[in-house]
Amino acid sequence: QVQLQESGPGLVKPSGTLSLTCAVSGGSISSSNWWSWVRQPPGKGLEWIGEIYHSGSTNYNPSLKSRVTISVDKSKNQFSLKLSSVTAADTAVYYCARVWSAAWGPFDPWGQGTLVTVSS
C-alpha cells in the first residue's frame, strides 16, 4: 500500500524559496503514475500546484508556473517541490499525492500534509 510523507522547513522567509520533499513508500515512483503537489492555506480551499511523471515530464498550475519547479529522484523514491519568491500568501499546508488510475486521474493516496509558514 503506497504511503507518502512530506518533509521540509516549516518556516520560510519572504522572497525566499520553499523546498519540500515527498517520500514514497510501499511502491515505486517509477510506476505508471504521476505524482502531485496540492496546497491549502489556513481555513481555505485546495489549490493544485503541479505534478510530475518519473520521466521528468511536468504539468503546472498556470497561476504558479513561473515560480514552481517539481523534480523527481528515482534513486531515493521521492519527488520534490520548489516554490520561489514566496510571500505570506504562500503560507499553507502542502500535500503530496499520487495521481491514481491514469494521467489526469484522481489524487489517491495523500500525504498527511506539512504546514509551511512564510514569515520573517
Q: Is 88 left (phi over 0), alpha (psi -120 to 50) or beta?
A: alpha
Stretch that binds other proteins, among 12-20, 23-31, 59-67, 69-77 (CB under 8 A): 59-67
| Position among 59, 69, 77, 84 found at the interface with other proteins (CB under 8 A) | 59
Q: How do strand 114-118 and strand 11-12 relate by DSSP bridges?
A: parallel
DSSP 89-114: GG-EEEEEEEE-SSTT--EEEE---E
Q: Does 77 bind other proteins (CB under 8 A)?
A: no
Query: Closest CB to other proteins among 8 and 113?
Result: 113
Binding site for other proteins (CB under 8 A): 38, 45-48, 59-62, 95, 100-101, 104-113
